[in-house]
A and B are shown apart, each in its own frame.
Chain A
């Protein structure tokens, strides 16, 4: 768990986050391409009909979606930053506690990210107007994105009372 300096956090803007997303997309697609090429090479020497190819294509698409979703959720819920965010030096926090988001919060944020991208990326426009530079995914998951050199201080998690 990282601690942040007590200064006012600097919220990360649209361009910085877009570049980080591009880096993440590059990583995802490079890995997917390498894996896809390996699978295609293996299948090329095996006798397979057109139906089998369709099935393999459907499975590959499904695996690709899972891989993409798992990539973001895993990184958000474990370190608070994807490799792209690490390069651009920002991190995702829970808006109230300042902690890195949990697994459910990360899944909601991933769904928000997809929803924000569907209407011609209009869901990202609030980043330009909101004082805390939040997009649709941040509003839905109750998260904020701050630069790592001005991170917000996490709030201590309240202790559970022992059962009486």
Chain B
């Protein structure tokens, strides 16, 4: 049994020794063939014939039909499904943002004056006016404004803004500015203001209020006079009775009344 194994091992060694040169020759031939094929391909690509052929193919309807068939085929759907499934776009946008691409693009647009030209074009064109007009006519905007103004947050915000030192400074500047004086001068010079003042002054509500106020004041004055005169009456009556030693016959000893006898 042991003799048989040794014989087999020896046979294998001899076979490898005999096949080694043949394998080296095979590898050399394969490398040479690959180099020849690549050289031939380079020659084909560099030739004007190939360029002309490619141009003809590109300009031919064949490419258009091929692209159309490709876009209408299931390949595009499969690619889109794969993009969505694997969140390729999200990862791509994350990487883009992380790399600071939007910031660089924005800075580049600003530096090149693109933003300035775009804003100028927007302000001078009719599009902005159309957009604003449509927005103002949209009932949704009205609801949004009403909802915003009704919210507690808006109230708090207005309170904070109104109490802020910045608002105080701004109001102070407005009051100190010539704008207010000019506005007041125009307002006082306008006939509409005085027409409105005349309307208000002649309105029955204002007349009634003034009359009521005058009557209230007159009543108050008369009441005060009455109180004081009745007090003086009592003092005079008491002084007179004391001076002449008389006693009142009847009546209450109350302010404004005779003393009892």
Contact = CB atoms under 8 A, between A and B. Distances in A.
Contacts of B241: 128-129
A125 B233 CA distance: 12
Contacts of A150: 257
B251 A132 contact: yes
B6 interface: no
A150 B257 CA distance: 10
A61 to B, nearest CB: 32
B226 A16 contact: yes
Nearest to B246: A129
Interface stretch (A6-14, A27-35, A65-73, A93-101): A6-14
B248 interface: yes
A8 B252 contact: yes
Chain B: number of interface residues, binned into ranges = 20 to 34
A110 to B, nearest CB: 23
Nearest to B259: A131
A87 B222 CA distance: 7
Which of A9, A131, A147, A150 lies at the interface centre, i.e. has the most chain B CB atoms within 10 A of its CB? A131
20 contacts: A8-B251, A11-B257, A11-B258, A12-B233, A13-B256, A15-B233, A16-B230, A19-B229, A87-B222, A88-B229, A128-B237, A129-B237, A129-B240, A131-B249, A131-B251, A132-B250, A132-B251, A147-B230, A147-B256, A147-B257
Interface of A: 8-16, 19, 87-89, 128-133, 147, 150
